[in-house]
Structure 1
Amino acid sequence: MRNWYKKLLIGWIAGCLVLACSDSKNEPEEPVTPPKEEEKVSLEKFDDIKVYPGNQRIKVEYKYSDSRAKQCEVTWTAGSEKKSAVVAMTVSQAEKSNEFYIDNIEEGTLTFSFVAYSEDKKMNSPKWIGSPVNVYGNKYISGLKNPAITNVEWNPTNYILNFSWSDNYKDVVRYILKYTNVNGEQKEVTSESDKAGTVTLQEFPENGKLEITTVYLPNGAIDEVKAAPTQITVNTSGEVPWELKAEMQAAASLIGWQAVDTYMKKYNFEYTEHPNNGGGKDHNDDTHIEVVEDKGLGQWVFKFNSHASGDANGNIIILDGDRGKIEDRMRNEMKSRTGDGKYHMNGNWEEWQRIEWKFKIPKGFRPTKSFTHIHQLKAQEGNNGSPLITITPRASDTNGKNSRVQVIHNGDNKDTNKGTIIDNLPLSDFEDEWIQVTSEIYYTHNGSYYIKMVRISDGKVLVEKKFTDIDMWRKGATNIRNKFGIYRSYGGKLEEDFNGKFPTSGIKDESLYLADFKIYEKNTNPNPQPHD
C-alpha cells in the first residue's frame, strides 16, 4: 500500500500525454507559403520616334505617354564598335513630340535603337529600332562643290551683272556671294537656290572678282554645311570667241627626225623626246618618226613608231627606252614648246584652251595592263610629276583582252584626283579609223574639261563629255603643255622584274598616226607667271 501514490502519479502523467497528443492531431495545420517573386513590371512602348541626321549628330523626336519613364538609352554600331548614350526624357503633351540631340557621332549610315527606363532602371520599355540614317561630316563636306557661272551679262552703264549657274547640284539651298563693288565697298549677297533663276548683282566692277560659297542641306537633315569658297574673275565682256593660235600639218618633204623637229619648231611644236635623241644610250639606229601619205585623209601625216621585240628565249632584240634610259618605259612624243613668245601654245592660269587633232590606231594595236598614253596634258613647272589628263589605251591581260580607250585625270593632289573619268570605249571602234579629237580646258583648280571624239569615216561620236569643277592646274606651274605620241610602260622594271630579259607584259612593235594640230585660246592670260 506504500506505493499506491506512485502508481497514481504515473497514471495521471500518462493520461495527460495521451490527451495532449489527441489535441494536437485535431488542430488544423498552417499551410507553408513559398516566398513571393517580385512582380516584373514593364513600361509602355514608344508611340513614335523619328531620327534626323546632322553634321556629326542626330536629332530625335519622340512621343511617349508613360510617366514612369525618366531616361532613354540610345544604342548604335559604328564600324565594329557598339556605342550608346543615355538622355533624360519626359512624357509628351497631347500630340506634341518631345526632342533631344546626341552629338559627336561618327559619319556614316547608322541605325539607332531606343529603350525607355524608369529612374532606378528596374523597369524598361520594349526596344524601338529605327530606320538607317546618313550622319554626315568632314568627308561629305570635303566633296561639296561650287558651280561655275554662265550666261554672263554686264551693263557698263549701271554696273549690273546678271548670270546663271552652270550646274544645279543636289541639296543646294542657297549661295553666298561676296565681291568688292565699284565704290570699293565689300558686299555680301545671298541667292536662294533656283534652277531657272538669274542672279543679279548691283555695282559689280568690270572683270571683278567674285567669291562663291554654296550652302547645302541634305534631304531630311538638320544642319546646313558649306562648300569651301572659290574665287573667280568674272569676264564681263560676255562670250569671247576662240582665237586660233597655232596649226600644223605634216609636209611631204620631211625625211629623218632632225628634219621633222626643225619643221615642227617653226610652228612652236618640237620633236625631242624619242630614242634617236637619247645621247647614243637608247635604241637610236631605227626610224621612230616618218611622214607618210594617207589616202583616206588625202594628205601627208606623221607616223610614230615604237619598237619592242624579243626572241624565243626571252632575249631582247630591240627595245626602245626613255630619253637614253632603258629601265621601265619607252617614249616617242612630240609636244608644244615653252618659253618667251610661246605661252600661246600652252595652258596658263585662268585661261581657256581648245586643242584639235586627229589620230589613227592601226588594227592589231595591243595595249598592256600598264599605261600606254597617246596624249598628255602635263605641267612644265612646279608639281609636274604625273600628267593632268591622258588618253590611254589599256588591256586587261598580256594578250590584249578587253582592249579599250580611257581618259584619266590626275589633280594637283590625291584629294582632287578623279582617276579614270572615261572608260570602256572599245578599241575596236578606233582601229584603222581616223578620229577627230576636240578638247576644251579651263585652267584653274576649279576648272573644266570637255572632250569629244568623232570617227571621221561615218561621223559617229565615240564619246562627248564635259567635267566641271575639276582640278585643271598644278601648284607652281606656268605652262600646261600638250603632248602626243606613244609613251608606254614595260609593265615593270627591266632588271628587277624581268631579270634583264624581254618584258613579259605583252608589248610589241606599235605605230600611231597623227595629223592636223590646231590650238585656240580665249580669255588669254597676258602675263603668265608661276601660280599655286
Structure 2
Amino acid sequence: MDKRLLLLILVCVLSCAKQQKEVVEEKSTPTEQAKANTDGTTLSANGTTDTYQLINSVFGGTGDVIEAPDCSHPGFGKHITQVFDNDLKRNVFAFLIHVTPDNDKCEDSDRQRNEIKTYDRSPENLKASKDERVLYRWKFKLDANFKPSSDFTHIHQLKPIDGDNQLPLITLTPRYRASGDVMQVIHTGETDATSQKYIVSVPLSDFKGQWVEVIERATFSFDGKYEIQINRISDGKVLVKQAFTKIEMWRKNCTSSRPKWGIYRRLLQADALRDETVWFNDFNITEY
C-alpha cells in the first residue's frame, strides 16, 4: 500500500477517535453538572476568608444578609466569627450575643438579634417560591451552660420575605421551663397568625454542649408539608423526627420565603440571661 495513503488513513483514524472522545465528554458534562446541582448551595466556614465576606459571597447575592449588632457594640467588633472546633476538627461559625449593649439591628428595643438569612436580593435558588420543595441541612451547637429566655430565643426561622411576613412560619426555639428547659419547633399558620402551635417539644439537655445536624424538608404552599429530623452527631441519637402534612407553609401576598439562622432573643428578663455563643456550620439549601 502507498505510504501516503497509509498516512492519510492513520490521520483519519486519529481524528475520528478525538471527535468521539469530545462527544463523550460533551454528553457527560450535563450529567456531572446535574449531579452537582442536586447538592444545592452550602455555606461552610473555612477559617481564611473574612467571615462577613464569606457569608455574603454565598447567600448575599447583590446585598448584605448579615443582621448583627456590631454598630451598637463597636468596641467588640464582629459578632460572627470563625473558630476551630475540636469536636468536628474543622472551622465553624461562632455567633455571639451580649446581654448589653447588643440590640436589634442597632435599634433600641426589648430584643436583640445576631442572624444571617437569605432575602429578596439573594440568588433565586436560595429563596422558596409557592409550591416549591426545599431541603435545608445545617449543624449547630449550644453551650453546655446555655440559658434560654422564658419568652423566646430563636435560633432558626423559616419566614416569608414579603406579603404577610410579620411572623415566621417555623421557628426552632430553646425555651426556659421551670420543670426543665426544652427545645421547641413552633408553627404559625396563615388562618390565625396570632395562634402558635408547639409542634415539637423535647428536653434541651440532649442538645447542650453537643453538635447536632438538622434536616428539614418544606413544601411551601397553603396546604404544605414540613418535616424535621435532628440527629446528635457524637452518637447518632435521633433527638427529633416529625413529619406534618396539610400544614400552612405560605402567606397571603407572599412571593418568596427564606431561612434565617443565629440568635434572636427578647430581653424582658435580662437578669436571667447571659452572654451566649451558638456555633453553626454547613448551611445547605437544596431545591428538589
Calculate the TM-score normalised by the size of structure 1: 0.45
Q: Say whether residues 1:470 and 2:269 are aligned partners.
A: no
Q: Partner amino acid for 1:451?
A: I
The question of whether the paired residues in 1 share the 8 Å contact of 2:175 and 2:184 is answered with yes
Amino acid at match of 2:107: K
Letter in 1 for 2:250: W
The amino acid of 1:264's aligned partner reads I
What is the rounded CA distance, in whole Å, between the counterparts of 2:65 and 2:79 in structure 1?
Answer: 11
Q: Paired residue for 1:94?
A: none
Could you tell me how far apart the structure 1 residues matched to 2:119 and 2:242 are?
A: 28
Q: Which has the higher helix share?
A: 2
Does residue 275 of the first structure (1) align with residue 56 of the second (2)? no
Give the aligned partner of residue 298 of structure 1. 89
Change (3 A) 1:381 1:271: closer
Partner of 1:244: 39
Is 1:514 the counterpart of 2:280? The answer is yes
- CA distance in 1 between counterparts of 2:234 and 2:135 reads 23
Deviation at 1:479, TM superposition (A): 1.5
Using the TM superposition, give the Cα deviation of residue 335 of structure 1 relative to its aligned residue in structure 2, in angstroms: 0.8
Contact 1:374 1:391 in 2 (8 A): yes
Letter of the 2:47 counterpart: A
1:417, distance to aligned residue in structure 2 (A):
4.9
CA RMSD of aligned residues (A): 1.9
Q: 1:333 to 1:446 in 2, by over 3 A?
A: same
Equivalent residue, structure 2, for 1:419: 197
> Letter of the aligned partner of 2:73 in structure 1?
H
Are residue 284 (structure 1) and residue 74 (structure 2) matched? yes
SS at match of 1:266: helix
The letter of the residue matching 1:453 is I
1:320, 1:330 within 8 Å by CA — same for their partners in 2? yes
User: Structure 1: how far apart are the matches of 2:117 and 2:213?
Assistant: 18
For 2:84 and 2:237, how far apart are their aligned partners in 1? 24
| Number of aligned positions between the proteins | 249
Alignment check: 8 A CA contact 1:336 1:346 kept? yes
- 8 Å Cα contact 1:371/1:393 also seen in 2: yes
Q: Summarize the alignment of residues 8-23 of structure 1 with structure 2, pairs less than 5 Å apart.
A: none
Q: Distance in 2 between matches of 1:443 and 1:243?
A: 19
Letter in 2 for 1:290: T
Instruction: Encode CA deviations 1:438-462: one digit per residue, 9 max, x unaligned.
Output: 0000000000000000001000000
Shift of 1:405: 0.3
Residue deviations 1:359-403 (CA, integer Å, cap 9, x gap): 000110000110100000011100010111000000125xxx511
Unaligned ranges ≥5, structure 1: 1-240, 309-317, 493-502, 523-532
Give yes or no for the alignment of 1:265 onto 2:56: yes
**Secondary structure class of the residue paired with 1:325:** coil
Aligned equivalent of 1:409 = 187
Q: Which amino acid aligns with 1:426?
A: P
SS of 1:369's equivalent?
coil
Aligned counterpart, 2:263: 486
- Contact in 2 for aligned 1:436/1:454 (Cα 8 Å): yes
Q: Distance in 1 between matches of 2:46 and 2:210?
A: 21
CA distance in 1, matches of 2:175, 2:140: 16
| Residue matched to 1:327 | 109
- Which residue identity lines up with residue 490 of structure 1 in the other structure? L
Name the structure 1 match of 2:228: 451
1:455-510 C-alpha deviation (Å, 9 max, x unpaired): 01000000100000000001111121100000000127xxxxxxxxxx34x11101
Aligned to 2:14: none
Write the distance in 2 (CA, Å) between the matches of 1:406 and 1:463: 10
Instruction: Give deviations 1:148-197, integer Å, cap 9, x for gaps.
Output: xxxxxxxxxxxxxxxxxxxxxxxxxxxxxxxxxxxxxxxxxxxxxxxxxx
The one of the two structures with greater contact order (alpha-carbon pairs below 8 A, sep at least 6) is: 2
Which is higher, the Rg of structure 1 or of structure 2? Answer: 1
Q: CA deviation at 1:338?
A: 2.5
How far residue 271 of structure 1 moved from its aligned partner, in angstroms, is 4.5
Distance, in Å, in 2 between the alignment partners of 1:474 and 1:428 is 34
| 2:32 equivalent in structure 1 | none
* AA matched with 2:94: K
State the alpha-carbon separation in 2 of the partners of residues 445 and 412 from structure 1: 8
The one of 104, 117, 129 aligned to 1:348: 129
Q: d(CA) in 1 for partners of 2:193 and 2:160?
A: 18
C-alpha separation in 2, matches of 1:421 and 1:298: 34
Per-residue CA deviation, residues 239-265 of structure 1 (Å, 9 max, x unaligned), is xx99333112101124xxxx3222112
**Once superposed, which parts of structure 1, at least 4 consecutive aligned residues long, lie more than 3 Å away?**
415-418
Aligned-pair identity in percent equals 37
Q: Answer yes or no: is the 8 Å Cα contact 1:368–1:396 preserved in 2.
A: no
Cα distance between partner residues in 2 of 1:507 and 1:262: 30
Counterpart residue identity of residue 421, structure 1: I
1:416–1:444: structure 2 CA closer, same or farther, 3 Å change rule? farther
**Whole-Å separation in 2 of the counterparts to 1:457 and 1:363:** 14
| Equivalent-residue separation in structure 2 for 1:319 and 1:452 (angstroms) | 35
Note the C-alpha offset of 1:342.
1.4
